[in-house]
Amino acid sequence: MNIFSFFSLFKKKQKTLKLPDSLLIKKLKEVSKNNGLSIYENITIYHHTQNFFIPLLILDPTRGIYIFEYKEWSYDDLKNATVSKAINQDSSNKSLAYQKTHDFIKQKFNELIHNDGVPIYNYLLMENLNSDEFKHLDNSFKELLPYQKVMFNDSMESDILYKLKETPLPTAPMADEVHIIGNLLVQYLIFSKDKDMNLATAEQIEFIESKTNGLETLSGNAYSGKTSSILLKAILETLRNPELKIIIIEPTILSCDILKQKLLNIIEYAIIEVDITSIEIITPIDLVNKHLSKLKMPQLEIILNINDKLMHKNFNVADLIICDDSNLLSFEFINYLRHIQKNSSLILVNEYSNEDSNYRFDKSFKSTELKVFFKQANQHAKALQLISNILEKNSSKDILVVSDNLSKIKLKDDLEFFIRDEAVLLDSSSNLLSQDLDNLLLCSYSQISSMNSKFVILMDVAEASLNEIEYALNLAEESAYVLYEDESENIKTLKEKND
């Protein structure tokens, strides 16, 4: 069935019409809220090298997708105009784009899930036209734009709901919102560790869609989707402007590799064209070495050190720098980032909810609430006992042990008698391909960025910083065990916070 566009002799300049904060839009939002409908404003669907802007999309979980175009046409604009039929036109002030919108959405669904997806229905938002004025328009308008498909500036909430519910119920079961919207809007699609699909929350969407200006901060607890959101934001910024240069800072080489793999997975799944060279994922040392190279100074190898000269030289390395896990990095490096990005944009991402943060993620994607257990005993013996007990019902890859280097080496030797699989000494300075993470992992507190596991066992907590311990504690999906032999300030503080 063809759905036609029309042209008229309007003399307005063409532009992309975004939704105003009008009474009509507020009524639509209220109808959606009260009837279990999901509303998405001013969205762009990306597919291959193409993109398509939609002012308003509403998902009815029982019927399908409602597509709305917003027009500023008034009765004076329309009263002397007639409608001409056309197909596959771009949306502008002079046309509607229903057919092209339908085709674009169906094409994306077909390439991703090999069917047309869900039923699609089109509506027109007429902010400057009332229902009585519509009756006096040329009959050709009424044929192509039926009264029941137009929301007028005087439409009541009951009228809006009636028009939406006039659409027929589909004969086949519909997919859930995650799979419908997730397949349409890659910028809101979050993959979990086991590659399950999730939709970004309202907080995350606000951050992803925001225009970054200067220094901003993002905070949230573990499993709140911070790292996934900064990746989606980088992708969206690049889709909007391929000329942008974006750098994401990760604390270790391994965490860089993990994020790069996530980036490739999203791009491959969503079938979008992104120049991945415009999104660079590097460590703090990599960034500093770029600056040192520009100044023709010796490169750093293992130890991060900010030379005084770096703090007195400009370095326009990127339009946007996003520093993940900034709370694990030194104040010296964070001050350096602020220095080199003072004329560009910088986002600092940290683990702690801060009232002063520009963006905060409160929701956790954990399936269960974290349980923290404190065990006062010989750490080494207790760790072996815990691991043995956990392995009775779980896999070795479900366990992460965090300790100092001496403890993890000793523990690795003894674990050969307890598990069939190899216990891996995690090396965050090596890349992802050189080590198998599908085993019991032993790592130090300086290596834990981007790691997580079902069970986390913490040792040597007296020697680690409280910042590192709390970060490691929150890596656990289900249970965390804090092992210690003597009471310490760190233990006391942890018990107070997890009482």
pLDDT given for residue 72 in this prediction: 86
pLDDT given for residue 156 in this prediction: 96
Edge-to-edge order in the sheet of strand 120-128: 38-47, 50-60, 64-74, 120-128, 150-152
Per-10-residue mean pLDDT, the chain, length 499: 37 56 93 96 92 93 93 85 53 59 90 90 92 89 85 96 94 91 92 81 94 91 89 95 96 94 91 91 97 94 91 94 93 95 94 78 82 94 93 92 91 80 85 87 91 94 90 92 94 89
Answering whether pTM is above 0.75, one says yes
Instruction: Phi first, then psi: give them for residue 39, nearest 5 degrees.
Output: -115, 135
CA neighbor of 444 nearest in space, from 390, 398, 408: 408
Alpha-carbon gap, residue 475 to 479, rounded angstroms: 9
Alpha-carbon gap, residue 417 to 110, rounded angstroms: 52
C-beta atoms surrounding 127 within 10 Å: 19
DSSP string computed for 331-349: HHHHHHHHHHTTTSEEEEE
C-beta atoms surrounding 334 within 10 Å: 17
CA neighbor of 93 nearest in space, from 10, 4, 152: 10
Per DSSP, helices labelled H in 114-209 are 131-135, 139-144, 157-165, 177-184, 202-209
Q: Are 461 and 357 in contact (CB under 8 A)?
A: no
**What are the structural domains of the chain?**
23-178 (3.40.1350), 189-361 (3.40.50.300), 371-497 (3.40.50.300)
Alpha-carbon gap, residue 91 to 93, rounded angstroms: 7
Instruction: Phi first, then psi: give them for residue 468, nearest 5 degrees.
Output: -65, -40
Alpha-carbon gap, residue 171 to 310, rounded angstroms: 65
pLDDT given for residue 82 in this prediction: 66
Q: Which amino acid is at 114?
A: H
Alpha-carbon gap, residue 11 to 13, rounded angstroms: 6
Q: Are 436 and 443 in contact (CB under 8 A)?
A: no
